[in-house]
Amino acid sequence: MDDINTLRRILSQNRVIAVVGLSADWFRPSYFAAKYMQEHGYTVIPVNPRYTEVLAQKCYKSLRDIPVKVDIVDCFRKTEDIMPIAEDAIAIGAKVLWQQLGVKNEAAATKARVAGMEAVLDHCVKIEHGRLFGGLNWVGVNTKVISAKRPRWLAY
**135/151 Cα distance (integer angstroms):** 25
Among 33-37, 93-97, 127-131, which is the least confidently predicted range?
127-131
Residue 152 main-chain phi, psi, to 5 deg? -75, -25
**Mean pLDDT computed over 81-93:** 98
Global confidence as pTM: 0.85
> What are the Cα distances from residue 58, in Å, to 47, 49, 67?
9, 11, 11
pLDDT tens sequence across 39-73:
999 999 999 999 999 999 999 999 999 999 999 99
- pLDDT reading at 94 higher than 60: yes
In the chain, pLDDT over 70 holds for what percent of residues? Answer: 85
**24/54 Cα distance (integer angstroms):** 5
For 58, left (φ over 0), alpha (ψ -120 to 50), or beta?
A: beta
